[in-house]
């Protein structure tokens, strides 16, 4: 395995010391090491991977130094546009070292949302004309690969990708964890909101633990899963899926269970929800100030005023709560309130270690929800 420190120091020996990206579970140890060791101007946890490419390009323009963008392969979709129209040799020809976690690698079992992305990970790089290598798990070999990558980028000024398989990086535990006084767990908050919903209400939940915790809640309560659309992939788009449903089914209340990382990833979508003004829409953001599902790296979620953003773009009513009592009170009140409503629930980081994963397939989930919506 490669020690995160070894990888970081090897890049530093080439003068590579600027990082931007969105964390990934396969890169958890590396992302944690970068978070702890690069200062705040040299590691930017971006809103989305496309934004990270912009940051990297800006850094290169200002310093002539090769930057790094780290991401899960799910983020490839978000970087295709900057790769084609910003860094490509046909446009500005800007070198960026891409470090891409390879979820869903063919032959390695993974969750359904990673299967397709895993199959096309290297194909997308090929089609975009990005030279790449799968990083060896052996430090001596990795050094040679990094040297080749850097020489290539220095000579051609083009991007280069290091594709990272599962278990490439050795363990490193994030030290730099911001302390706060939040006491409610995300799971408790999810259970509290889900318990207050009407029989015909629908939930669209976001990527990661939020959907997993909602799924487990239904199982434990002996309820079906047909009322919940689990957005297992497509991070940042749950609010628009919910909007699509809410506009077509005006007699149903539609709840979006969002994360801070996910809502910030495509924050502009909040403006579209607000301006379409669905009276039957409630946008709940479980804000733990972290990308908890992939290792707990910080987001800006707890430093910004999300309800104020929602209010500024036109949500009808906005709230922020951090205690269970207040949440329960508010949920009672929401029954009478016209949407679109924005509700921030501030929660502490962390999850149950024995949390399961959805046992139904995405297709089963979709079909059950569509049948439920027909009723
Ligand atoms: C486009 C894209 N980038 C990155 C990921 C990896 N990923 C999955 S869940 C997650 C964190 C979500 O954070 P947040 O929305 O704050 O919810 P939390 O896990 O904290 O509850 C990330 C980065 C992804 N699935 N898709």
Q: List C-alpha distances in Å: 13 to 2, 9, 42, 44.
A: 16, 6, 15, 20
CA–CA gap between residue 302 and residue 264 (Å, rounded): 11
Ligand 1 neighbour 365 (Cβ under 6 A): no
Q: Which two tokens stand for residue 322?
A: 């951090």
Ligand 1 neighbour 297 (Cβ under 6 A): no
Compute the average pLDDT of residues 184-197: 98
Task: Identify the DSSP state of 66.
Answer: P
Ligand 1 neighbour 296 (Cβ under 6 A): no
Q: Give residue 177's pLDDT.
A: 85
Strand segments, DSSP code E, in 10-104 are 19-21, 43-45, 68-72, 97-101
* Short-list 340, 333, 286, CA closest to 315: 340
Confirm if 188 and 215 have CB atoms less than 8 A apart.
no
**77-109 pLDDT tens trace:** 999 999 999 999 999 999 999 999 999 999 999
User: In this model, does residue 285 exceed pLDDT 90?
Assistant: yes
Longest dimension (CA), the chain: 64
Please tell me the distance between residue 115's alpha carbon and the centre of ligand 1 in angstroms: 17
* Short-list 311, 320, 203, 212, CA closest to 260: 320
Q: List C-alpha distances in Å: 289 to 267, 300, 328.
A: 15, 6, 22
Ligand 1 neighbour 74 (Cβ under 6 A): yes
**228-248 pLDDT tens trace:** 999 999 999 999 999 999 999
Compute the average pLDDT of residues 18-24: 98
Confidence of residue 216 (pLDDT cuts 50, 70, 90): very high
CA–CA gap between residue 130 and residue 334 (Å, rounded): 50
Compute the average pLDDT of residues 127-145: 98
Compute the average pLDDT of residues 71-76: 98
* Short-list 110, 151, 164, 175, CA closest to 2: 164
User: In this model, does residue 176 exceed pLDDT 90?
Assistant: no
Confirm if 94 and 86 have CB atoms less than 8 A apart.
yes
- Burial-class residue 336 by CB neighbours within 10 Å (0-12, 13-18, 19+): exposed
Residue to mutate (ligand 1; options 76, 294, 295; most atoms within 8 A of CB) = 294
pTM of the model: 0.97
Q: How many CB atoms lie within 10 A of CB 58?
A: 14
Which ligand 1 atom is at minimum distance from the Cα of 72?
Answer: 4
Q: List C-alpha distances in Å: 194 to 126, 197, 366.
A: 44, 6, 19
Ligand 1 neighbour 239 (Cβ under 6 A): no
Confirm if 92 and 44 have CB atoms less than 8 A apart.
no
Q: What are phi and psi of 64, to 5 degrees?
A: 65, 15
Which ligand 1 atom is at minimum distance from the Cα of 287?
Answer: 16
- On average, the pLDDT of the chain sits at 97
Q: How many CB atoms lie within 10 A of CB 356?
A: 11
Confidence of residue 10 (pLDDT cuts 50, 70, 90): very high
| Sheet strand arrangement including 317-321 | 228-230, 202-205, 254-259, 281-287, 341-346, 317-321
Ligand 1 neighbour 73 (Cβ under 6 A): no
Confidence of residue 289 (pLDDT cuts 50, 70, 90): very high
Q: Give residue 375's pLDDT.
A: 81
Ligand 1 neighbour 294 (Cβ under 6 A): yes
**33-51 pLDDT tens trace:** 999 999 999 999 999 999 9
Answer whether the bond into residue 340 is a cis peptide, omega within 30°: yes
Confirm if 111 and 232 have CB atoms less than 8 A apart.
yes
What are residue 21's DSSP bridge partners? 45, 70
Compute the average pLDDT of residues 151-156: 98
Q: Which two tokens stand for residue 334?
A: 């929401």
Compute the average pLDDT of residues 253-279: 98
Ligand 1 neighbour 292 (Cβ under 6 A): yes
Q: Give residue 329's pLDDT.
A: 97
């Amino acid at each position: 395995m490669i020690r995160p420190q070894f990888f970081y120091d090897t890049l530093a020996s080439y003068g590579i010391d600027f990082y931007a990206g969105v964390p990934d579970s396969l890169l958890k140890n590396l992302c944690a090491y970068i978070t702890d060791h690069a200062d705040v101007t040299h590691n930017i946890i971006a809103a989305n991977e496309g934004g990270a490419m912009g940051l990297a390009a800006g850094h290169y323009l200002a310093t002539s130094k090769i930057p790094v963008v780290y991401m899960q392969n799910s983020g490839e979709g978000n970087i295709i546009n900057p790769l084609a129209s910003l860094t490509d040799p046909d446009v500005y020809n800007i070198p960026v070292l891409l470090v891409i976690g390879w979820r869903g690698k063919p032959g390695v079992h993974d969750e359904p949302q990673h299967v397709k992305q895993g199959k096309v990970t290297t194909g997308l790089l090929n089609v975009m004309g990005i030279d790449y290598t799968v990083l060896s798990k052996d430090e001596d070999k990795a050094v040679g690969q990094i040297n080749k990558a850097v020489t290539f980028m220095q000579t051609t000024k083009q991007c280069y990708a290091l594709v990272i398989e599962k278990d490439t990086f050795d363990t490193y535990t994030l030290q730099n964890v911001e302390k706060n006084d939040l006491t409610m767990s995300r799971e408790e908050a999810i259970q509290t909101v889900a318990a207050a919903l009407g029989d015909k209400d629908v939930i669209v939940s976001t990527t990661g633990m939020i959907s997993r915790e909602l799924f487990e809640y239904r199982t434990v309560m002996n309820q079906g899963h047909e009322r919940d659309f689990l957005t297992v992939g497509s991070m940042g788009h749950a609010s628009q899926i919910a909007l699509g449903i809410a506009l077509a089914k005006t007699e149903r209340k539609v709840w979006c269970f969002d994360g801070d990382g996910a809502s910030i990833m495509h924050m502009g979508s909040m403006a579209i929800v607000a301006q379409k003004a669905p009276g039957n829409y409630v946008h709940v953001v479980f804000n733990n100030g972290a990308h908890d599902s992939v290792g707990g790296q910080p987001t800006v979620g707890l430093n910004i005023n999300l309800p104020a953003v929602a209010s500024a773009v036109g949500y009808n009513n906005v709230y922020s709560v951090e205690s269970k009592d207040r949440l329960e009170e508010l949920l009672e009140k929401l029954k009478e309130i016209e949407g679109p409503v924005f509700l921030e629930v501030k929660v502490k980081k962390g999850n149950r270690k024995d949390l399961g994963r959805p046992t139904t397939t995405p297709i089963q989930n979709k079909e059950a929800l569509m049948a439920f919506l027909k009723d």
